[in-house]
Structure formats: C-alpha cells, structure tokens
Amino acid sequence: MRRILYLEDDPKLAQIVVEYLSRFYQVDHLSHLEDLNRRVEHFNYDVAIIDRNLHGEDIGLKAIEIIHKKDATTGVIVTSSYSSVDDKIDGLSLGADDYLEKPFNIRELEARIAVLLRRKLPTNIELNGMKFDTESRQIEYDGKVILLSQKENEILFYLLENANKVFSAQDLIYAIYSHPDDILPNTITVTVGKIRKKLPVEIIKTFKTRGYMIEVR
C-alpha cells in the first residue's frame, strides 16, 4: 500500500484529511517538525503533504530537506494559506512538486497525490501477459491493443496504480466520478463486469462485502 506522510498542526483539518485519505493509502500524521526525522528513518514515503506554516513557523524548506535526504523520489505537496503568486513560486522553489492553497477541496488534494504517484510508476507494467502503458493508458495483449471505454479505463488504471489495496464501490465512485453523489454503487459492479469481459485474462480480484483489487507482486 502506498504510504503518505502528512505534516499538519490543525487537528480538525488533519482528522478530515487522514480519514479521507486512509481509504486509499497508509497515512501517517505528524503535528511537530521534531518528529519528522525519526519517522522518515523508519518508513519510506511515496508522497509527503506539508503544511508550510507549522505552529507559526515557516518550516517548509527544513521539512523538505529532511524528507529528500532520506528519499529524493518522495513527492512533496506544500499546503499553505499564503495565496499570492510569489508565495506559490517561493513554495515550489523550496523543492516541492506541488503547492495547494488553503482552504482546499479534499478531492483536489487526492487528485494531486494521484498525479505524483503516477510519476513514480514505471511507464510500462506487465501483468499476466498484458502490457499497460501508464502514460498513454494503452493496454496490449499478444501484440493487440485492448480497447476500453473511458470509465472502464479509468477504473482499471486506478486499481493498477493503487495495486494491492482493496477499494469499495463507493471508494471508486468518489475517486473516478466528478459527481459521485449521482452515481449508484451498482454502476461499479456493472463496469467492472464489462472490463472483465474485455480483458483476455483475469486481473481484478473481488472481495465480497469489501470491494476490488489488482494484485501486483
């Protein structure tokens, strides 16, 4: 499972973000910069979300230095109430990959995390004889391209890019659809069924009462 580090001193915001992201990732929340060194010594993180102003101090540069000293490939998203263009440029110049102004929409944060995670994926993944191009979103088997509808493709690659984690129908609806409240859970069941019919081999596992997963070893 992908691991996310979240550095935020606002307990209410942290609770909301952690509860939401924990549906998709392993999330470790810290509220003090002093705890960061010890945490990165023990765990490798795919993405770090850093509140630039922690307890009244601008800790952005220091936090990024600590994280990248351990693993330079960790994607970094800086969040801040500083909203001017200069502030955003300054935040990115610290070494962040993305800058998100507070207050932010939780689904926008999740989408930006997904973008950074895709950068860490190998461009080509082979699974059960099928070849997946994570950039072009193309699927090939035995030299032939497999065509899926847009939503079928989005669901399949979402499961692939978040391999080894079970997602409920509701999780997938909120991850894929722009207006999730208008979508019935049965929509995912039907769409996954269509994907299975179009793929030459089975790669999507179903866990009754829990959801769907693609296993990558």
Domains of the chain in sequence order: 3-120 (3.40.50.2300), 124-214 (1.10.10.10)
Rounded Cα distance between 38 and 17, Å, is 22
- Name the pLDDT band for 1 (thresholds 50, 70, 90): low
Q: Predicted confidence band at 15 (pLDDT cuts at 50, 70, 90)?
A: very high
pLDDT band at 90 (very low <50, low <70, confident <90, very high): confident
In which residue are the tokens 């952005």 written?
60
Mean pLDDT of the residues in the chain: 89
In which element (H, E) is residue 213 found? strand 211-214
What are the two backbone dihedrals, phi and then psi, of residue 212, each rounded to the nearest 5 degrees?
-130, 155
Amino acid 44: pLDDT: 83
pLDDT of residue 211: 92
- Report residue 206's pLDDT band, with 50, 70 and 90 as the boundaries: very high
Q: Which residue has the higher pLDDT, 155 or 162?
A: 155
Report pTM: 0.64
